Amino acid sequence: MKKKIFLPKMVKAKNELVSELNAYLEENNVPIKVVSCASIFRFVPREAKGFFIPFDVDLFFHHMNYHGVYIWEGRVCFLSTAHTKEDTQQIITTVKKCVEDLRKGGFLQIPITKKIHYHLPLTKPKLRVFCFPYVGGGASLFRTLQDTMPEGVEVVPIHLRNV
């Protein structure tokens, strides 16, 4: 009697699921990706910074649960022999629905690729104010500061990368 081998089938199904999800997430500039090993997979921020999980990504998990795809609080998912092709299709459909819903609410926005300059250099300023944001902040925090300054004062927002 031959033994049935389930792991390769599960891994193949999981690989197909992960490939389709990552293709969709990448194509739509969603700041989430799917990582996996064997039949286990998880949704993670595309650009993780330590243990920090952006609020948008946390909302994504709650929306998945709300729409019927339960994701454990540890954020680890898995496929088993009990999951059918319809189940994996439901996961894909739910991911797309959640991304669409969150984007309508202003979350998981497509990153701006063009640079926006908030610095309007003066030819001969009387004073230059260099503005450093808090950790995690950006130069955009100071975009309206120049309007509040007296004449002759130049605001120079500083953007620190990888801080």
pTM of the predicted model over 0.85: no
**Beta carbons within 8 Å of 64's beta carbon, 6+ residues apart:** 70, 71, 94, 95, 98
Q: What is the pLDDT of residues 83-107, one digit of tens each?
A: 999 999 999 999 999 999 999 988 8
Q: What is the pLDDT of residues 99-143, one digit of tens each?
A: 999 999 888 876 654 455 556 677 888 998 888 888 777 777 887
Q: Residue 37: phi, psi to the nearest 5?
A: -155, 130
CB atoms within 10 A of CB 4: 7
Percentage above 70 pLDDT, the chain: 84
Name the CATH superfamily housing domain 7-104: Aspartate Aminotransferase, domain 1 (3.90.1150.10)
Domain ranges of the chain: 7-104, 112-163
**Beta carbons within 8 Å of 125's beta carbon, 6+ residues apart:** 152, 153, 154
